A = this chain, B = another copy of it.
């Protein structure tokens, strides 16, 4: 029965379209003109077999590699981005400086168990940790969660100790209704604030189980400058998941466990990076902007393939593919590659401040900062009047396996949150994780983790949506 109805609907739609337009493929689209929908479909299908996003992520990971703000790699990344935007035919390419008051030298990190059983541990300094000034030896005191540390009264009860927060993201069970990834948020509490809270209780240092979902002898780094003025700065490091389990197995024997930590990390004075912006300038309404974001910087252990080479590549490729069409889109499309995301959205904040007077002309923004996985769901945060348009746009990406549930409460993701706060409407594609938190902030974040077909699917979805948004005479603002 369903089949019969479907055929009937199709025949009706065919006969209706025959009256309205020349296209033999027309379907009932009240908002999107058929010729435009046809163009979007062809663009989408071309993107599915265009390897440009994969080539771009291969290029930045191979030719640039790690690119933390304040490092030589970051400067190489800025030069790479400028050159790529130019090669890809963007109409305008420029940089905007991203200054930050504090720099950081990672240095070397080592840790070992001294007693009861000697063992080397795999450890990585957390971002902006101070060094240990030589070997720092102390008994470790385990806290299963950050909240368990907070439950200790401030004072000096942890004097001479090393706090060990053993929270495992991999074993975390989200409460009903919470996202499967909410364990990341739980884990980052200790990563960003643990050293301050441990210091307030007299501890000499803090080690945390790496915030991740893997079982590798590899540490997950992270965090920016999160000190409080009147709290002593103590060293903070992440040990690998297997080493955290080893410490727990020792502690279960009821014996004191003493660890030696040695970090040669150092805080330094001011640094600067740059946001790099490339624009495909609109043919008709050049001062109406659609903005595509990703972050140019990465952590410094891997080559930043999934975080956020995949975002840089898919967003550059999205605009470049639209820019390859016969004519420029009606509106301008701007790709903003933010610097300093990893140390706390520093580049995004600088961009939002510097451009605060024009953000009301940003009709729609999206960011990719979740790896190169396929999109599974479209969510929006647009003015209520334009939601039916988003639904029609959605229908043209639905064949890519993307769902839509009408949710319209999305905010800008990652860097774009700063522009979202300034009023920018958001259109986000939620992505398959492709084991994102196995690799995130580790030496394992390398090009081989990119799944080429997935990156093409992701880019095809953005190309379709932003081509349509650039051509339609629709205001997506609230």
Contact = CB atoms under 8 A, between A and B. Distances in A.
Interface of A: 58, 61-65, 116-119, 122, 215-218, 241-243, 245-246, 249-250, 302-303, 442-444, 446-449
A249 B444 contact: no
A246 B443 CA distance: 13
Contacts of A448: 215, 241-242, 245
A246 B64 contact: no
A446 B62 contact: no
A216 B444 contact: yes
B62 A122 contact: no
A447 B245 contact: yes
A14 to B, nearest CB: 49
Contact of A447 (B242, B443, B447): B242
Given A62-B117, A243-B446, A246-B446, 17 more contacts: A58-B249, A61-B246, A62-B246, A62-B250, A63-B117, A64-B117, A122-B443, A215-B444, A215-B448, A215-B449, A216-B218, A217-B218, A217-B443, A217-B444, A241-B448, A242-B449, A245-B448
A119 B217 contact: no
Contacts of A61: 246
Contacts of A118: 65
A65 B242 CA distance: 13
A119 B446 CA distance: 12
Nearest to A300: B120
A246 B58 CA distance: 9
The 8 closest A-B pairs by CB, nearest first: A217-B443, A242-B446, A62-B249, A242-B448, A245-B448, A65-B119, A63-B117, A217-B444
11 contacts: A61-B246, A63-B117, A65-B118, A122-B443, A216-B444, A217-B444, A218-B218, A241-B448, A242-B444, A243-B446, A246-B446
Contacts of A119: 65, 303
A303 B246 contact: yes
A65 B446 CA distance: 30
Nearest to A443: B217
A306 to B, nearest CB: 12
A279 B58 CA distance: 58
Contacts of A303: 119, 246
A205 to B, nearest CB: 23
A116 B59 CA distance: 13
A444 B448 CA distance: 19
Nearest to A118: B65
A215 B451 CA distance: 13
Contacts of A62: 117, 246, 249-250
Given A62-B117, A64-B117, A242-B444, A302 B449 contact: no
B302 A217 contact: yes
A104 to B, nearest CB: 17
Contacts of A117: 62-65
B447 A249 contact: yes
A442 B117 CA distance: 20
Contacts of A243: 446
Nearest to A249: B62
Nearest to A449: B215
A302 B303 CA distance: 25
Contacts of A245: 446-448
Contacts of A302: 217
A250 B122 CA distance: 29
A462 to B, nearest CB: 25
A440 to B, nearest CB: 13
Contacts of A444: 215-217, 242
Contacts of A216: 216, 218, 444
